[in-house]
Structure formats: structure tokens, C-alpha cells
Structure 1
Amino acid sequence: MVAHPTAVEDYVKVIYAHTEWQTELITTGMLAHRLGLAASSVTEMVKKLVVQGLAVHEPYGAIELTPDGTALALRMLRRHRLIETWLVQHVGYGWDEVHEEAEVLEHAVSDRLLEALDAQLGFPSSDPHGDPIPAADGTVTVPAGLLLADAAAGGRVVRICDRDPGLLRRLESDGIMVGAVIDGRQRAALAADAHASIWVAAP
């Protein structure tokens, strides 16, 4: 397995994760905003991804991962989400506290330890936020559903975006977790950021 610098792993993971919540491909400007970096720095790194065969990008166009780039992104998401699950289930972290910790640990954990964590956890298919955990062979099963913003009548929560700890705490205080059912009244009371961060399916 080819070893990649931490920055490369972070970039492909963010590029892939962007399309998990909507179909619009990510641009260098969007990527710079997500990573909190200057657009010029992001453009240079994207060029390196292209040279390494991990991405395809035309000037001023969207960024797409190659099969190798997608495989690397799924490997990093598997690490991230298994670590988040382990931190919640065995270390006592709250679901709003694990994202940043996993961002660090995902680059340091060995494959052997990761597989041991997977077995200890009982081979989970999703993390505490409902995000699917890719299998060791790179396959991933995405739950059926749509954004709450597009579900006029609410629905059963299947995924919640983990990037905003404050939002996670607010949702938890309102009893909105993975598996909860949001009715029309609750949907109307939730702010726009929640509508764009919750994935629901039919109750």
C-alpha cells in the first residue's frame, strides 16, 4: 500500500466527503473554504494530486477523484469513523467531541490496530453520527434518505453531519439523534443549519 503525506490524505477525504451530502462537485474555492487555507495553496496541492494520479482537475473546473483517489479517501473515512465510534463507545467521549480527535488519530493508527478496533466494536456499519463506515475492501453502503431541507414532512434521522459540535449539542438537547423521528412541527422549529445537516428517511 502506497504511503501518502497527511495533507494528501486530508485533501482526498474532504473532496470525497463533499459529495456525500449533495451532488455538486467541489471546486478549489470550496475546498479552500472547507480547509481554511488560501486558494493559491489549495490550487498547488490539487496539482500535486493530479500528478500523483489521485484527482482530475481542469483550470477553473471542479475536482474529481480518480479510482485511486477514491480508494484512498474511503480508507481514510474508514479510519476516521471507526475511531469516532471507538471514542464514543469505549473512551467516554460525546458525539460532539470526537471529530477533531479522529482527525489527528486517523493518521497515526496502524492498520493492525484499526482492524482490532473494528473487531472490538463488532464490525459496525455506521459511526455515532450515522455516517457509513467503509469496509476494509473499500465497499460502502450509503443509507437511503435525503436532506431534511428537501423532506417537507420530516422523517427518521439516519445521518447527522459531524462538523459543527455546537449543532450536535443543540440537537442532542432536543432529543434529535440518529434513529429519532422528526415531525413537521419539529422540522419547522429547526434552524436552517440543521436542515442542511440532517439526513432523513421515511419513518
Structure 2
Amino acid sequence: MPSPAIDDYLKTIYHHTEWQTERITPSQLAAELGLAPSSVTEMVRKLAAQGLVTHRPYGPIALTEAGEQRAAAIIRRHRLIETWLVGEFGYAWDEVHDEAEVLEHAISDRLLEGIDERLGRPRFDPHGDAIPDAEGRVHREPFVLLGQAPAGHVGRVLRVSDRDPDLLRAVEAAGVAVGATVTVTDAGSIRVDGADVPLPEAATAAVWLST
């Protein structure tokens, strides 16, 4: 049955391994959701009983195939809505997350399909995150985190994390957009069109480049 609480858990677990490989631990999940560890432990037990996650005591949590399908479906809704708000209503990319959190549970499948069709079946949202298709499939290029890219690396900006609206605004103010080709200089600094671009230190852990 639909449950925003369950969907939030599944989305968070799904998000954790989109751009890195380490599985999420119960303590990390509790921190991400802002909940007490005891509450998370109880919910994870319920999710495991429903066949949505696999988990052993004190170990990491992984989505089952059913859990990944459900997570991909709600993430598809969220990211299509974000793309729709930016493209059709003039929202900035730092303004859409909270709106999408509300709308993802409210719109019908018919409206979602209409949004997808109107937008031309986009594969990525405004932040560069992949939009799962109706079957839950996604396409991602090989990537490297800005802070881990060596000096001289040239790549396109694939993704900017939407976790911090202030950082999104700072990246936008610097003239860096998803799809831009940049050259890494040193310590996570970049050059765009021959000009050095200052970025906040936090950008090194929030910007992903193509390899």
C-alpha cells in the first residue's frame, strides 16, 4: 500500500548508492532522515518483513528488487516534477525540492505520464540526477567526484547535489551548470572557458564530472 513514510525510507536508501558504492548503515539512515536510531531499526525490520530490503543486525541495508522498483517509481515522480516546475513554471533549481516532496504523493499516474510526455521524456532532472523510466531503468555515465578528480581532468558537469540550496545558488552564481565542460585545476577548483572559477569548498563533495 502507498505510504509516504515507507517511500521516504526507500528513496533515502536508493539515493545513498546512486553516486557511490557503499551501502547505507542504520545510523547513516537515521541521520539522513533525522530520526532516532530505534525508530529506524523498527522500520527497517518492517521493510525487511515486506520484502523491500535485506538487512542483518548492525549491518548495512540494501534494497531488494521489489524495493528498488518501488524506490525508482517514487524517485521518477519526484524528478519529473522538479523538471516540470523548472521548465514550465520558472522555478530555480534550488527551489524545487520541497515542492516536489509534496506533489510526488499527490499527482495521479495519468498526470505523471502527461508531464513526462510534455517534457519530451527527459532522462535527467535539473540537478543532473537520472530520471528512472517507467520500468525503473536509468542511464548514468561513468563519473568522478570533483574533489577526487586530478588536476588537468576535463569533464562535463553531470550532477550537482540538491541537498544544500545555498550551494546550488553559489554554483549557479559562478556560472557552472549541468552539462558545462570544465577543467579541474587543483584542490577541486575549476576552469570554465579559460577562466578560473571560484567555488565554495563544499562543492568538492557535491559536484560530479564525467570521466
Aligned to 1:27: 25
Aligned to 2:199: 190
1:112 paired with 2:121, answer no
Aligned to 1:88: 86
- Counterpart code for 1:10: D
Give the superposition deviation at 1:79: 0.4
Take 1:194 and 1:42, find their aligned partners in 2: how far apart are those partners?
A: 30
8 A Cα contact 2:149 2:184, kept in partner: no
Take 1:26 and 1:132, find their aligned partners in 2: how far apart are those partners?
A: 20
Alignment of 1:16-165 (within 5 A): 16-152=14-150, 153-154=152-153, 155-165=155-165
Take 2:8 and 2:160, find their aligned partners in 1: how far apart are those partners?
A: 21
Aligned to 2:179: 179
TM-score, normalised on structure 2? Answer: 0.91
Take 2:162 and 2:169, find their aligned partners in 1: how far apart are those partners?
A: 11
- Residues 79-137 of structure 1: CA deviation (Å, up to 9, x unaligned): 01000000000111100001111111111111111000000111101111111110001
8 A Cα contact 1:132 1:143, kept in partner: no
TM-score, normalised on structure 1? Answer: 0.94
Alignment gaps of 5+ in structure 1: none
- Counterpart code for 2:181: V
Take 1:144 and 1:185, find their aligned partners in 2: how far apart are those partners?
A: 20
- Counterpart code for 2:168: L
Give the superposition deviation at 1:184: 2.8
Structure with the largest fraction of helix: 1
3-state SS of paired residue (1:183): strand
8 A Cα contact 1:157 1:179, kept in partner: yes
- Counterpart code for 1:200: L
- Counterpart code for 2:144: L
3-state SS of paired residue (2:62): strand
Q: How many residues are paired up?
A: 200
RMSD: 1.3
